[in-house]
Amino acid sequence: MQQLSDPMAAIMDKLKAKSQAFSETTVAIEEPEYNCPRCKDTGSYLVRKKNGYFIRGVEVEQDYYVECECSKMLKTNRLIKSSAITEEFQKMSFKNFSTDGVHPKVIEMKSKANQYYTAFDEVRGFRQNSIMLIGQPGCGKTHLLTAISNYLIHAKQVPVLYFPYKDGMNNLAANNFERKNEIMDRMKEIDVLFIDDLFKPIGGKVDVKAWQAESIFEVVNYRYLNNKPLLISSELSLDDMLYIDEALTSRLFEMAQDFTVTIPKDMKVNYRLRKVFENR
Ligand SMILES: [Zn+2]
């Protein structure tokens, strides 16, 4: 009996020890933990760097605060949320913009968009700081400008606001005076404003109400005077835009003169219809 109980006791001891260890880990998990152990949720951490000074032949090291990746991610997430860019549009990049078999003008448009993004830091503070892609609907203008917006937010943490012209105008009309001013102020002050489908025709007809023209002019003129970049798409030609609003269009053209591409109206350019033509 004695011989049997000893191993039994040993097993019991082992089990006890195990359960104690388990409860200890449980306690450890319950202790307050940081979302980001690296910076302990402060948003920055110290790194020791050599600073190029030597004392008696030994390079001096100094502590520097660097912004933690978690802080950058948080900022990016906030910017995505406030940009009004939908989940579907957040996927748009230069990489997933296919140029197989498209009109040469569409290839030029993509390369212009790329150039604009590359030049952004240099041009953003100047009058000529914007990009305008106009003409043929459905050839990927929105895709490319959305891609630029996404890169600006993710890689440079630049605040961007997406303003789809038709829905945005309906939204302005549905709001009271105070709220309308609030939205317009945001459109004026945001670092980058993306106006998608400016003067979008409805049922093939361009119908711009006086208050709509005034509102959009107020925003564009403010941004023109304060050197704030615009990303503009429109399916109208420059001539049509000039006819609708000369003052507005001439400002847009001045701001985007280095980065304007007009896609000719030609069914085969149509990005959405390309598949149909390929199958013929
Ligand atoms: Zn962190």
Does 173 lie in the same domain as 128? yes
| Cβ atoms < 10 Å from Cβ of 265 | 12
Structural domains of the chain, count: 2
Q: Under a CB-based contact definition with an 8 Å cutoff, are residues 100 and 257 in contact?
A: no
Helices (H), the chain: 2-30, 69-83, 87-90, 104-123, 141-156, 165-174, 177-189, 210-225, 238-244, 246-255, 274-278
Q: What is the pTM of this model?
A: 0.78
- Considering the domain architecture, whether residues 148 and 268 belong to the same structural domain is answered as yes
Tell me, yes or no, whether 243 and 105 share the same domain. yes
In a domain, 13, yes or no: no
Residues 62 and 97 in one domain: no
Give distance in angstroms: CA of 81 to centre of ligand 1.
Answer: 20
Question: Same domain, yes or no, for 148 and 238?
Answer: yes
Distance from CA of residue 199 to its chain's centroid? 23
241 and 223 in a common domain: yes
Residue 16 lies in a domain: no
Nearest to 145 by CA among 68, 207, 231, 66: 231
CA gap 73, 49 in Å, rounded: 24
Give 66-122 pLDDT, tens digit per residue: 999 999 999 999 999 899 999 999 999 999 999 988 889 999 999 999 999 999 999
* The predicted structure's pLDDT at residue 181: 94
Q: Is the pLDDT of residue 213 over 50?
A: yes
Q: Is position 164 within any domain?
A: yes
CA distance 97 to 88: 14
Taking the centre of ligand 1 as the mean of its atom positions, its distance from the CA of residue 92, in whole angstroms, is 28
Residue 210 in domain:
yes
136 and 40: one domain? no
Residue 228 lies in domain: 76-278
Q: How many angstroms separate the alpha carbon of residue 39 from the centre of ligand 1?
A: 4
Q: What's the CATH number where 193 sits?
A: 3.40.50.300
| Alpha-carbon distance values, 242 to 16, 221, 252 (Å) | 84, 15, 10
- 151 and 268 within one domain: yes
Give the integer Cα–Cα distance in Å for 195 and 117.
17
Of 67, 94, 111, the residue at which a domain comes to its end is 67
Ligand 1 centroid from CA 64, angstroms: 15
CB 258 within 8 A of CB 130: no
Same domain? 105 vs 221 = yes
Judgement on whether residues 53 and 152 belong to the same structural domain of the protein: no
Per-residue confidence at 280, pLDDT binned at 50, 70, 90? very low
Is residue 265 within 8 A of residue 105, CB to CB? The reply is no
* Ion ligand 1: protein residues whose beta carbon lies under 5 Å: 36, 38-39, 68, 70
On whether both 44 and 127 belong to a single domain, the answer is no
Strand partners, 182: none
Query: Does some domain include residue 12?
Result: no
Q: Are residues 106 and 244 in the same domain?
A: yes
pLDDT in tens, 33-43: 888 989 999 99
